[in-house]
């Protein structure tokens, strides 16, 4: 079984290689279960024109495909940088057990990343966010939620 530093070195290796070879941002992650890598990802936001294609999210997607499950209980995530709020949310939804990280968000801010708008948006109550939000067709949408709860095999996420 590999030790934790080997898994982090793999994430760093992927981030360096993909940055130099394909122009990816140097943020990569690996997901480990029972001592084996089951998912890898690198930040492909620009190349995929996908704002959600962060290294952690890509690794979660890869692990889900490989394991045949969205539930990554029993998995650890190794990432080259402390995850942003979006990636933390993805890790919670995927039920990742443990996080290991190298760089911090403060390190990213030191090289020019402006993370304040993201933090403000995520931490603010809906009416206090900078992006306007308007509720529409709440009753119709709620009816679908209620119908879902009556479907055979319905289960609700309990984090």
CB 100 within 8 A of CB 8: yes
| Residue among 18, 56, 58, 85 flagged as catalytic | 56
Task: Give the neighbor-by-neighbor strand order of the sheet with 75-81.
Answer: 36-43, 25-33, 75-81, 98-103
Give 23-71 as a DSSP string: --EEEEEEEEETTEEEEEEEE-HHHHT-TT--HHHHHHHHHHHHHT-S-
Beta-sheet pairing, 25-33 with 36-43: antiparallel
HSE at residue 108, side-chain half, CA atoms within 13 A, is 16
Distance CA(56)–CA(87), nearest Å, equals 6
* 56 included as an active-site residue: yes
The 10 Å Cβ neighbour count of residue 72 is: 23
Q: Which residues are part of the catalytic machinery?
A: 56
């Amino acid at each position: 079984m590999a030790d934790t530093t080997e898994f982090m070195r793999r994430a760093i290796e992927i981030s360096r290689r993909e940055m130099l070879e394909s122009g990816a941002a140097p943020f990569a992650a690996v997901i480990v279960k029972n001592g084996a890598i089951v998912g890898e990802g690198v930040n492909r936001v620009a190349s995929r024109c996908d704002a959600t294609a962060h290294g952690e999210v890509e690794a979660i997607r890869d692990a889900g495909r490989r394991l045949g499950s969205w539930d990554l209980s029993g998995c650890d995530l190794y990432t080259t940088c402390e995850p942003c709020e979006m990636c933390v949310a993805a890790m919670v939804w995927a039920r990742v057990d443990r996080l290991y990280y190298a760089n911090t968000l403060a390190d990213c801010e030191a090289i020019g990343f402006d993370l304040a708008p993201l933090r403000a948006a995520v931490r603010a109550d809906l009416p206090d966010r900078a992006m306007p939000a308007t509720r529409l067709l709440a009753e119709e949408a709620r009816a679908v939620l209620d119908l879902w709860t009556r479907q055979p095999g319905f289960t609700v996420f309990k984090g």
